[in-house]
């Protein structure tokens, strides 16, 4: 009885049966694609076993770090950093590499670095150098500076950002943006005293993606993870005023 009813329904409205058939076919194709992608992803993972990159600060030399009465920070800092690719079957290209130095959450130094390639299970030595002057904002930051200066050591954060490309066999595919954060503690510069041995420091590594770019009439504003950064012609990142569209980058 049910079969006869469906047959009569199809005779009365053939378009309805055609739509049902197409929908069923599309669902089957979609499910097959999802299963295939899932199986391929599992096979890829089992074969390549991708691992997070690792980074360490091997040495740091702070030869100048002074704050003037008008809160201008004069600095000279050199870092020796090692970045390691632990993957056995995946090579990595690092593009648009940049390093930043921060004190009390405020960026005071910026140094662009050359792009490079890491083969499997390879390590790369990087030596960003920061030198110049930069105003620090806020009385709290100035108070923290004086407090750390009295204690004989400064807490500084060094960041490294790079856009990755992944090489698998002969194939190269776009990868995520690698972000590396290295908190270090360095002694107050003393001209006539030898610097104590630096304790090797592990860095935190995570991946993020560029969200979008927006061009206004004066600057090119790059939005990264919801924060705002202005890339100037002098290869410096000038912090922009806050706006409704995002917060400030470090």
Summarize pLDDT for 97-119 with one digit per residue, the tens. Answer: 999 999 999 999 999 999 999 99
Residues with Cβ within 8 Å of 138's Cβ and at least 6 positions away in sequence, in order, are none
Residues with Cβ within 8 Å of 225's Cβ and at least 6 positions away in sequence, in order, are 208, 209, 211
Task: Give the global pTM.
Answer: 0.67
Share of the chain above pLDDT 70, in %: 71
Summarize pLDDT for 127-153 with one digit per residue, the tens. Answer: 999 999 999 999 999 999 999 999 999
Residue 212: exposure state from Cβ atoms within 10 A (0-12, 13-18, ≥19): exposed
* ∠ CA 131-100-50, rounded to 5°: 140
* Region 168-180 average pLDDT: 90
Residue 60 has pLDDT above 50, yes or no: yes
Confidence of residue 13 (pLDDT cuts 50, 70, 90): low
Range scoring the smallest mean pLDDT among 25-29, 76-80, 189-193, 221-225:
221-225
pLDDT score of 240 = 35
Comparison of pLDDT for 165 and 232, the residue scoring more: 165
* Region 152-160 average pLDDT: 97
Beta-carbon count within 10 A of 183 CB: 14
pLDDT score of 180 = 97
* Region 33-37 average pLDDT: 85
Range scoring the smallest mean pLDDT among 17-21, 41-45, 136-140, 168-172:
41-45
Instruction: Specify whether the CB–CB gap between 53 and 205 falls below 8 A.
Output: yes
Q: Mean pLDDT across the chain, nearest whole number?
A: 79
């Amino acid at each position: 009885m049910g079969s006869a009813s469906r047959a009569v329904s199809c005779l009365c409205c053939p378009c309805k049966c055609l739509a049902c058939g197409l929908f069923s076919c599309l669902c089957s194709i979609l499910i097959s694609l999802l299963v295939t992608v899932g199986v391929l992803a599992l096979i890829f993972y089992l074969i390549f076993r991708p691992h997070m990159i690792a980074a360490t600060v091997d040495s740091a030399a702070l030869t100048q770090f002074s704050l003037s009465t008008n809160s201008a920070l004069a600095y000279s800092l050199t870092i020796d950093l090692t970045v390691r690719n632990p993957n056995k079957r995946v090579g990595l290209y690092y593009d648009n590499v940049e390093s930043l130095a921060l004190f009390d959450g405020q960026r005071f130094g910026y140094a662009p670095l050359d792009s490079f390639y890491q083969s499997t299970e390879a390590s790369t030595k990087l030596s960003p150098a920061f030198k110049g002057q930069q105003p620090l904002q806020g009385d709290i930051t100035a108070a923290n500076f004086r407090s750390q200066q009295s204690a004989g050591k400064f807490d500084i954060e060094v960041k490294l950002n790079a856009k990755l490309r992944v090489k698998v066999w002969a194939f190269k595919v776009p990868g995520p943006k690698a972000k590396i954060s290295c908190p270090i503690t360095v002694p107050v510069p003393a001209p006539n005293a030898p610097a104590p041995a630096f304790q090797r420091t592990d860095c935190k590594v995570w991946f993020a993606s560029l969200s979008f770019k927006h061009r206004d009439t004066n600057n090119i504003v790059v939005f990264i993870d919801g924060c705002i950064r202005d890339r100037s012609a002098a290869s410096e990142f000038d912090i922009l005023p806050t706006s409704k569209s995002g917060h400030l980058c470090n």
